[in-house]
Structure 1
Amino acid sequence: MAKALAREMRLPPLPTVRDLLRLYKIRAAKKLSQNFLLDPRIIERIVKVSGNLNGAHVCEVGPGPGGITRALLSAGVEKILVIEKDARFLPTLEMLREAAGGRIHIIMGDVLSYNMENAFPKDMKKAWEEETPAIHLIGNLPFSVSTPLIIRWMKSVSAQNSAWTYGRVPMTLTFQKEVAERICAPVSSPQRCRLSVMCQYLCDVKHKFNIQGGSFIPAPKVDVGVVHLTPRKSPIISLPFSLIEKVVRCTFHMRQKECHHSFATLIPPALHQTLIPKIFAIAEVDPTTRPFQLTLEEFDRLCHAYNLLVEKVPEIGTYEYRAPRKERISGEDLKPQLEKLFFL
């Protein structure tokens, strides 16, 4: 009963977000890539596409002056954990917390280093195979943090740690429009890249809508895309995240060339002629395919073929083409081991 009353409680009259920015003389910090979204219609739309939030627990990343936070409270959210790096917003968030009757918990810190493993009530946890829990991650992300944050969160989704100890917690996030398009890019799209594969093999991704840059203060030179990501019950590729990331990163190293060229960055030079044709044969993938034309299923088979090789000859897994030349192995001394492998 208490929960139901909390959800129905309306906020008392408050200064507008625009007025609060003037009152506290807060301007967007360029070094933090800040852009404030003040249009209530757009804010409500972001909240709406996040799904059913009535009675849910939400972690909002980068609330700033609290525009989206207000809309979340109006949507019936039970509790909101806000993570804000900029201490200038603490007074505006504390004002909102008092008005919301304790439904907001404020963390001042960097979301990139914040572990959400104990951020929500334990009784909200659901098994991974079940429906998504009543927990959501929402944020109007600064451009400078959006890509590293989504990769970090995909790693946590893969390991089912941090927020994802609670189950398949969905995310609704803003990105620079081009980044949003890359995350959701289908096979053969000009925008398909490493980010597309790393998000899509773990999550069902949907590009919900775009926001014109002029809707923000200050207005960025680019538009913004809103993306909704829901972790899959079973990932398309069932291997360690670090191995998949390495294979995908190296494959997209030469995006426009046939993928056997870029795959060479995974293999010591002395072994190219022997191993690269074998890997593509085992994976049943055409080596003349361009990286952006590879399906998730083809990436799955390539990752497993590479993993099979690394399990037999671990030294190959340590090869890193980006390492200083003196530290790179040639692979010449590995040839005797390769000759004994049954699949070669």
Structure 2
Amino acid sequence: MTDHLPSLRETLDAHGLSAKKSFGQHFLLDLNVTRKIVRYAGPFDGRAVIEVGPGPGGLTRALLESDAGKVVLVEKDPRFIPLLSELDDGSGRLTIVEADALKVREAELVEGPAHLVSNLPYNVGTPLLIKWLTGPWTPCALTLMFQKEVAERVVAQPGEDAYGRLAVITQAVAEARIVMHLPAAAFTPPPKVASAVVHLIPLAERPAPDRLKRLERVTAAAFGQRRKMLRSSLKQLGGAALCEAAGIEPDARAETIDVAGFLRLADALT
């Protein structure tokens, strides 16, 4: 356990640190909450875990108490490296990488299957998710905290207001569900919005990279003009003919088409 360590608030004060707005930082200092998130993410069965944006290390402490093997921290803000280094017990289990997570090659950080568990910085949460779901390296599971609105967009179903491009691309490659809601007051400093934790498990059979690229083109066009019929919004890609080739009604609108339908549109694009 990490109970012998000073509290997270005491540690921040000792290092004279506070959240940086430009990095989208909002710290989770309640260890009861971070331990609960790690329980939702596990069990890890000795596999490695990558955490992005650990900040003062609230989630890191909970990960070090878990059955994770190697714990790899990717932190862009150099102010936190000395503070995080204090969590290293010399066992070789903790690795700290000062880097931009959008540019990191995860396969070079861990060997074998690994989990991702993070309270993501608000300003890069969506691009990081897309990177992990569509890039060359695939985690065995992801447990990620987003703004509530973004979390709802990740798990949304056809016909719901939040359903859009993010839901289609995510659900084409993974199962996703919200496992926990957190009020703004749980964070320091409190953001203007509530947050939610999403648990994602990549599908065993994922679309090939070229198929995903076509899916991204189709969804960008369809949801770029989501109030229009697909015959109009997809005009540059084939319009009604593309829809008919995919078995989709050309007069339908994007928000009514399920993931399987969008994959058929992507396939028809060839």
TM over 0.5: yes
Q: Counterparts of 1:186-265 in structure 2 under 5 Å? A: 186-235=157-206, 239-264=210-235
1:299 paired with 2:251, answer no
CA distance in 1, matches of 2:175, 2:30: 28
One-letter identity of the residue aligned with 2:123:
S
- Using the size of structure 2 for normalisation, the TM-score is 0.95
SS where residue 280 of structure 1 aligns?
helix
User: Which one-letter code corresponds to 1:154 in the other structure?
Assistant: L
The offset of 1:215, in angstroms, is: 0.4
- Alpha carbons 2:43, 2:67 under 8 Å: kept: no
Q: How does 1:54-65 map to 2 (within 5 A)?
A: 54-65=45-56
Identity percentage of aligned residues? 34
SS of 1:82's equivalent?
strand
Cα displacement (A) at 1:100: 5.8
Aligned residue for 1:174?
145
Greater relative CO, 1 or 2 (CA 8 Å, sep 6+): 2
Q: Which amino acid aligns with 1:247?
A: V
> Compared with structure 1, are the counterparts of its residues 186 and 233 closer, same or farther at alpha carbon in structure 2 (3 Å cutoff)?
same
| Superposition map of 1:51-130 within 5 A | 51-97=42-88, 99=89, 101-121=91-111, 124=112
For the pair 1:22 / 2:18, whether they are aligned, the reply is no
Q: Residue 227 of structure 1 aligns to which amino acid in structure 2?
A: V
Cα drift, residue 101 of structure 1: 2.8
Contact 1:54 1:75 in 2 (8 A): no
> Does structure 1 conserve the Cα–Cα contact (< 8 Å) formed by 2:230 and 2:239?
no
Tell me what 2:249 maps to: 286
2:119 paired residue among 140, 148, 151? 140
Taking structure 1 as reference, are residues 229 and 297 closer, same or farther at Cα in structure 2, changes over 3 Å only?
A: same
Could you give the per-residue CA deviations for residues 41-62 of structure 1, whole angstroms, max 9, x where no partner exists? 2111110111202422111111
Task: Supply the distance in 1 between the matched residues of 2:260 and 2:193 (Cα, whole angstroms).
Answer: 33
8 Å contact from structure 1 (residues 174, 226) kept in 2:
yes
Quickly say closer, same or farther: Cα 1:155–1:238, change in 2 above 3 A: closer
Aligned residue in 1 for 2:35: 44
Aligned equivalent of 1:271? none
Where do 4+ consecutive residues of structure 1 move more than 4 Å? Answer: 236-239
Relative to 1, partners in 2 of residues 1:15 and 1:188: Cα closer, same or farther, differing over 3 Å?
A: same
**1:83 maps to amino acid:** V
1:98-139 C-alpha deviation (Å, 9 max, x unpaired): x36321000001000000112223xx3xxxxxxxx4x21111
**Distance in 2 (alpha carbons) for counterparts of 1:238 and 1:59:** 23
Q: Is the 8 A contact 2:118 2:143 kept in 1?
A: yes
Please identify, of 72-81 and 198-207, the stretch whose mean Cα deviation from structure 2 is larger: 72-81
Q: Which amino acid aligns with 1:149?
A: L
Which 5+ residue runs of structure 1 have no aligned equivalent?
A: 1-9, 125-132, 268-274, 308-344
Question: Which stretch shifts more, 220-229 or 50-59?
Answer: 50-59
Q: Which has the larger radius of gyration?
A: 1
Count of residue pairs the alignment pairs up: 270
Shift of 1:196: 0.5
Using the alignment, how far apart are the partners of 1:118 and 1:53 within structure 2?
Answer: 20
In structure 2, runs of 5+ residues without a counterpart are: none
- Contact 2:134 2:209 (C-alpha < 8 Å) held by counterparts: no
Report which of the two has the higher share of helix.
1
The alpha-carbon distance between structure 1 residues 194 and 237, as it changes in their structure 2 partners (threshold 3 A), is farther
The TM-score normalised by the length of structure 1 is 0.75
Q: 1:73 to 1:54 in 2, by over 3 A?
A: farther
Q: Deviations over 1:264-300 (max 9, x none)?
A: 2x34xxxxxxx42222221111112110110111112
Distance 1:293 1:236, change over 3 A: farther
Q: For residue 28 of structure 1, give the secondary structure of its aligned residue in structure 2.
A: coil
CA, structure 1 residues 19+303, in 2 after alignment: closer, same or farther (shift >3 Å)?
same
The answer to whether the 8 Å contact 1:11/1:100 transfers is no
Query: For residues 147 and 55 of structure 1, what CA distance do their matches in structure 2 show?
Result: 28
Q: What is the DSSP-based 3-state SS (H/G/I as helix, E as strand, rest coil) of the residue aligned with 2:170?
A: helix
